[in-house]
Structure formats: C-alpha cells, structure tokens
C-alpha cells in the first residue's frame, strides 16, 4: 500500500480503540479490546449482560480510565482528556440508565447541550443578561426536536415524562451538539415497537445524511440489524466476533455467548 493510501485509511478511521482493558477488583470487565469506527459508519456492539459493553463506553467517554490501551478520536489521543473535553471533540452519548435533568423541560435540555458543546457560558454574559437563546440556537433545537419526534413535548418538564420519552430526550440532547460519533447505550430500552422503528430510522438517517458515526449498544437485535453496517460481539470483556450482522449471528461463538450452545 502506498504512503498516500495508508494515510487516507488512517484519516478515515474516526475512532481507534486499541488494547483497552479495565478491571474492577481484579475482575476484568474489558480485556484487550481493539476495534475502529470509520467516519459515517454505524457499528453495533452486542453481547450478553455483563459482557463489558457499558464499561467500554465509559472508557471511551472518559467516565472510567482504562488501565491499558489507547483511544484515538479523529487522529488525537483522548485517553488523558477529561469527559467534558472529549464531548467537545465530538463524542455524543446516551445512557443505559436514563440521565436527564429533572428541573428542566425538554427544550432546555437541548439548549444546554448546544451551549455546553461550544464551551459557552461566561459569568459576565449572565450578569449582563446576554445569555438569552439566540435565534440560530432556537432554530437548531427545534429542528432536532422535530427530527426525534418530540417537538410536541418541547415545553414539558422532563419530570413529567415517561421512560420512553426520556430516552428520546437523551437522544435529542446528544444530537443537538452535532457529534461526529454517537455512543448510544440501549436507546430502545423502554420504547414500544413503533417508537423503536422510528428511532432506528432516525439513526439511519443521521448516519446517511449527516455522516454521523454511531456506536450502538443494543439488546434488540432486530434494531441492530436495521441500523448497523458492522457488528462487534463482546463476551466476558473480550471481542468474540466481528462482521456484518448476519455473519456474526451465524457465528457459533456468538451463539455460544448468547445461548450457551456449542456446536
């Protein structure tokens, strides 16, 4: 491979996770995980409960510090960066356990996310009453609310919403900051079948139209099949299979991990 072709390959990789390990009290939650996510690619991360998927997400986002390994986002090592700096470099995230701000309504969630991503917010601006939402911010928030399908609940306090709606708020909040990579942790949990299909459609649209990469942890395998280009399977902290969705589902090691069946 020529040097130019090699450089182009390297630049195409948005996220490079290499040899990442994390253990808790001697128990390896994630062990030597290595994979990449390309720009605009949608990658599924599946595996049984306790496989280490959320721990791996936490290592990528900075909530946990891995004991070993490197994590590179857009060519820059982010392993030493705090959580907020990783977010500002384009990592968006939704959480396995819903993390919303109970004192805010839906629109405020998105406005906060929009400003936090830019590192906006200075004391003098607040004291001079110059912190009102700008028209472009309002417009952008409205577009994302429309996209996710919760525009009708924009002014509803989030404490009055159910679990499914809160998941959509989380997704919209992550999307409003226009991430280069969205880490979605079980986003369909709590959604009904129709909402799940709509969510899958939104993720696919974002990937295809905006070029946003998605790393999706999900137990609803039908949704994974509908959204992802490539699937990674984890079990007991390690990677057991990589390939297209159909390929990995046919892999005996995956069947073993999920069902305990050895062929």
Partner 1 sequence: MSQFIGFAIPGVPYGCTFAIVAVGLVLTYQATGVFNFAFGAQAYMSAYAFTRLVQGAGLPVWLAFILSVVVLAPAFGLVLDRLLFRKIPNTNTTAKLVIGISLFVGIPVLMQVLFGSQDVYNAPSILFNPNIIYFHVFTAPFSGTDLSSVVCTVAVLLGLVILMRFTNLGLQMRGAVESRRLVQLDGVNSGTVVATAWAISSFMAGLAGVILAPLNNQLSFLPYATLMVAAFAAAAWASLRSLPIAAIVGVLMGMLTLLLEGYLPSSSSFSAAVLYSVPFIVLIAALLIVPGMRSLDDTKDPMASVDPPVPPSIQSLRAPQLDRIIRRLWYLLLGAFVVSMLTWIPPTWTFVFNEGLAFSVIFLSITLITGMGGQLSLAQATLAGVGAFTAAQLANHLGLNMLLGGIVGAVMAAAVATILALASLRLKGLGLALMTIAAALFFDNSVFDQSSISNGVSLTIQQKWVGFGLFNPNGHNVFILEIIVLSVCVIAVLLIRKGTIGQYLSAMRGSETAAAGLGINLTWQRVMIFAISGAMAGIGGTLLVVQQQTINNEAFSYELGLAFVVIVVTTGVSTVEGAIQGGMGFVIIQQLLSYLPARLGGNSLVLVFFAFGALQYANHPEGILDYQKRVWTLRFERLLFKPKGPDVSVSAGPISGAGGTNGPSPVGGVIVEALGAEPGGPT
Q: Which residues bind partner 1 (CB under 8 A)?
A: 61-63, 82-85, 87-88, 91, 93, 95, 97-104, 108, 111-113, 115-123, 125-127, 129, 131, 156-166, 170, 173, 177, 190
- For the bound state, the minimum distance from the C-beta of residue 99 to partner 1, rounded and expressed in Å, comes to 4
Minimum Å distance from CB 49 to partner 1?
Answer: 15
Supply the minimum distance, in Å, between the C-beta of residue 136 and partner 1: 15
In the complex, minimum distance from the CB of residue 187 to partner 1, in angstroms, rounded to a whole number: 14
C-beta of residue 218 within 8 angstroms of C-beta of residue 197: no
Closer residue to partner 1, CB minimum distance, 135 or 260: 135
Q: Residue 176 or residue 254: which is nearer to partner 1 going by CB?
A: 176
Structure tokens at 101: 């701000």
Comparing CB distances to partner 1, the nearer of 19 and 119 is 119
Rounded to the nearest angstrom, the gap between the alpha carbon of residue 105 and the centroid of all alpha carbons in its chain is 22
Q: CB-hemisphere CA count at 13 Å for 114?
A: 23
What DSSP string describes 59-79? Answer: HHHTSS--SEEEEEETTEE-T
Complex with partner 1: residue 122 or 210, whichever CB lies closer: 122
Tell me whether residue 115 is exposed, middle or buried, using C-beta atoms within 10 angstroms of its C-beta: 0 to 12, 13 to 18, 19 or more: middle
Of the candidates 191, 211, 95, 199, which has an alpha carbon nearest to the alpha carbon of residue 147? 199
Closest distance to partner 1 from the beta carbon of 52 (Å): 18
Tokens in use for 61?
């986002």
Give the nearest distance from C-beta 135 to partner 1 in angstroms. Answer: 16
Identity of the residue, 91 or 254, whose beta carbon is nearer to partner 1 in the bound complex:
91
The answer for residues whose C-beta is within 8 angstroms of residue 232's C-beta and 6 or more apart is 35, 43, 44, 45, 46, 239, 241, 242, 248
Straight-line distance from the first to the last Cα atom of the chain, in angstroms, rounded to the nearest whole number: 39
Q: Which CB atom, from 98 or from 226, has the smaller least distance to partner 1?
A: 98
């Amino acid at each position: 491979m020529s040097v130019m072709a090699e450089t182009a390959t390297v630049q195409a990789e948005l996220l490079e996770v290499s040899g990442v390990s994390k253990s808790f009290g001697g128990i390896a939650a994630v062990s030597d995980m290595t994979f990449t996510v390309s720009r605009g690619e949608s990658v599924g991360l599946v595996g049984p409960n306790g496989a280490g998927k959320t721990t791996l997400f936490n290592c990528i986002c900075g909530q946990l510090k891995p004991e070993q390994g490197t994590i590179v986002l857009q060519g820059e090592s982010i392993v030493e960066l705090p959580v907020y700096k990783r977010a500002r470099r384009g990592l968006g995230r939704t959480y396995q356990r819903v993390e919303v701000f109970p004192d805010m309504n839906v629109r405020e969630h998105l406005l906060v996310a929009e400003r936090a991503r830019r590192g906006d917010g200075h004391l003098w601006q607040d004291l001079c009453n110059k912190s009102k939402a700008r028209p472009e911010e309002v417009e952008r928030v409205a577009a994302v609310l429309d996209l996710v399908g919760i525009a009708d609940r924009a002014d509803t306090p989030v404490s009055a919403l159910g679990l499914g709606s809160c998941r959509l708020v989380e997704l919209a909040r992550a999307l409003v900051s226009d991430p280069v990579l969205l880490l979605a942790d079980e986003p369909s949990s709590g959604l009904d079948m129709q909402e799940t299909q709509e969510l899958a459609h939104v993720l696919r649209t974002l990937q295809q139209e905006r070029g946003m990469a998605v790393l999706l942890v999900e137990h609803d395998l039908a949704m994974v099949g509908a959204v992802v280009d490539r699937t990674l399977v984890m079990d007991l902290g390690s990677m057991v299979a990589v390939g297209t969705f159909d390929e990995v589902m046919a892999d005996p090691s995956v069947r073993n991990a999920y069902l305990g069946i050895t062929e």
